[in-house]
Amino acid sequence: MLYFDYAATTPVDLRVQARISHALAESFGNPSANYKLGKASKNKLTTARRRLKALLKLDEASDLYFTSGATEAINWALRSQAYRARDLGLGHHIVTTAIEHSAVDRVLLDLENKGFEVTRLQPNSNQQFSLEQFIEASKQTTIGWTVMAVNNEVGSILPIKELGQYAKQKGYWFHVDATQAIGYQMINPQDFPCTSFNGSGHKFYAPKGIGFLVYQAWNKEMILDPLLLGGDQEYTKRSGTENLPYILGMVEALELMDQGYHELQESFVELSTYFFQQLNQTGIEYQRNGDLVHHNNRIHSIWLKEKLASQVIIQLDMQDIYLSAGSACSAGSIKPSRVLTAYYPKNEARWRESVRISFGRYTTKNEIDQLIEAITKIYQ
């Protein structure tokens, strides 16, 4: 098997599996219970939260809540901040980009149906997004901005620092979808200013079904509304017995990412350089998608001209080689990617003929050689 879809999900690290297995056997007590077994679980939960906050370089004023993943965290953060700001009489307008993940876009669509106004910015002529675009799109009724740190389809990096600093000056809430950045980008308050951001464990070698939301409002009146009501877990904000084994596993996974951060970044640069060197030698006509100046070396979207992405993926799948397309396939029809249509609104062929290749911890040059060989045979 050759796996090139790490942006979609990652395998669970064996060390993380061991941590979870141990917790399932030894730390099964309910953290809300008042006897020793429960208190021991509560202590581990508290320690895990403290360790995760340290890894994310959060200060004491920041709140961190464990969730089932990024989608839940995004829904929670956007809905709470939008409604809270409107209830405070601050306005009803939100600015975002046209390349956001569906977890953001669909929440905003729902908010539009509830009376909010949303402006979706298109990439500029350099295939980039700028602070000036956001400033120009904002108005007196603007209450918040929401932007992804790294695009999941093409790997473009957005200017979070500049946007966050300006949003704070204006008093806008600012949510960052950091799903593709956590573990792969250094997070600190200076370079990552925002009122909220989220992460998802399965993007950095932890299991699916566990994630987190960080909330750090600039305005004390912008209180985070409870997501779930019940037993008052997660500081009364998200009721439900905490998934301690997966929480411990996620924190372990992020610690491992932190320990090997520089080596992994170097490997992504090396793998990316090697991949395109080898692809160039085949003579296959292709173009890269997205912002190539501000770009993550882990995720690459490529337009393979005159080859339908759906057919390429099927032929590779038959050889146990796995990557994904720039469009979603369902019921035998192609639904164009919102990201590619935003970047290339007049190039329908590019929407249908682009594939995504994403590298991970276990990717090797030998695997890249086999991928290049398989793609070359498809063209032959």
Q: Hey, what domains does the chain have and what are their CATH numbers?
A: 2-8+261-379 (3.90.1150.10), 14-258 (3.40.640.10)
Other CB atoms within a 10 A radius of the CB of residue 315 amount to 15
**Residue 53 in this model has a pLDDT that exceeds 80:** yes
What does the alpha-carbon distance between residue 93 and residue 120 come to, in Å, rounded to a whole number? 11
Could you say which of 329, 334, 374, 378 is catalytic? 329
Q: What is the pLDDT of residues 28-43, one digit of tens each?
A: 999 999 999 999 999 9
Give the integer Cα–Cα distance in Å for 75 and 177.
11
Percent of the chain scored above 90 by pLDDT?
94
Q: What pLDDT was estimated at residue 300?
A: 98
CA separation (Å) from 249 to 39, 243, 254, 373?
19, 10, 9, 37
The pLDDT of residue 185 is above 80: yes
**pLDDT in the model for residue 60:** 82
Task: Summarize the confidence of residues 54-60 as an average pLDDT.
Answer: 93
In the three-class reduction of DSSP (H, G, I as helix; E, B as strand; rest coil), residue 296 is classed as coil
Beta carbons of 177 and 148 less than 8 angstroms apart: yes
Q: How confident is the model at residue 191 (pLDDT cuts 50, 70, 90)?
A: confident
Q: Residues of 361-377 as b/e, b for ≥16 C-beta within 10 angstroms?
A: bebeeebbeebbebbee
Q: Where are the beta strands (DSSP E) in the chain?
A: 2-3, 63-67, 93-97, 117-121, 142-148, 173-177, 196-200, 211-215, 286-288, 299-304, 321-322, 324-325, 328-330, 333-335, 354-358
φ/ψ region of 133 (left if φ > 0, alpha if ψ in -120 to 50, else beta) reads alpha
Instruction: Outline where 101-196 has alpha helix (H).
Output: 102-113, 131-137, 160-170
Average pLDDT over residues 253-282: 97
User: Could you give the 3-state DSSP secondary structure of residue 175?
Assistant: strand
Task: Write out pLDDT tens, residues 68-126.
Answer: 999 999 999 999 999 999 999 999 999 999 999 999 999 999 999 999 999 999 999 99
Q: What proportion of the chain, given as a percentage, has pLDDT over 70?
A: 98
Spatial separation of the C-alpha atoms in residues 232 and 226, rounded to whole Å = 9
End-to-end CA distance of the chain: 22
Cα dihedral sign for 122, 124, 126, 132?
Answer: negative
Neighbours of 50 (CB within 10 A): 13
Report residue 318 CA to chain centroid gap.
Answer: 29
Type and span of the H or E element at 147: strand 142-148
Length of the chain: 380
The CA radius of gyration of the chain, in Å to the nearest whole number, is 21
The predicted-structure confidence for 277-331, as pLDDT tens digits, reads as follows: 999 999 999 999 999 999 999 999 999 999 999 999 999 999 999 999 854 443 3
Number of neighbours of residue 94 by Cβ within 10 angstroms: 27
What does pLDDT average to over the chain? Answer: 95
Q: What is the pLDDT of residue 327?
A: 44
The neighbouring-strand residues paired with 238 are 228
Q: Cite the beta strand spans of 53-134 per DSSP E.
A: 63-67, 93-97, 117-121
194 has catalytic annotation: no
Residue 245's CB is within 10 A of a number of other CB atoms, namely 22
Q: How far apart (Å, rounded) are the C-alpha atoms in residues 149 and 291?
A: 13
- Rounded CA separation 46/70 (Å): 21
Backbone angles phi, psi at 249, to 5 degrees: -65, -40
For 116, the 3-state DSSP assignment is coil
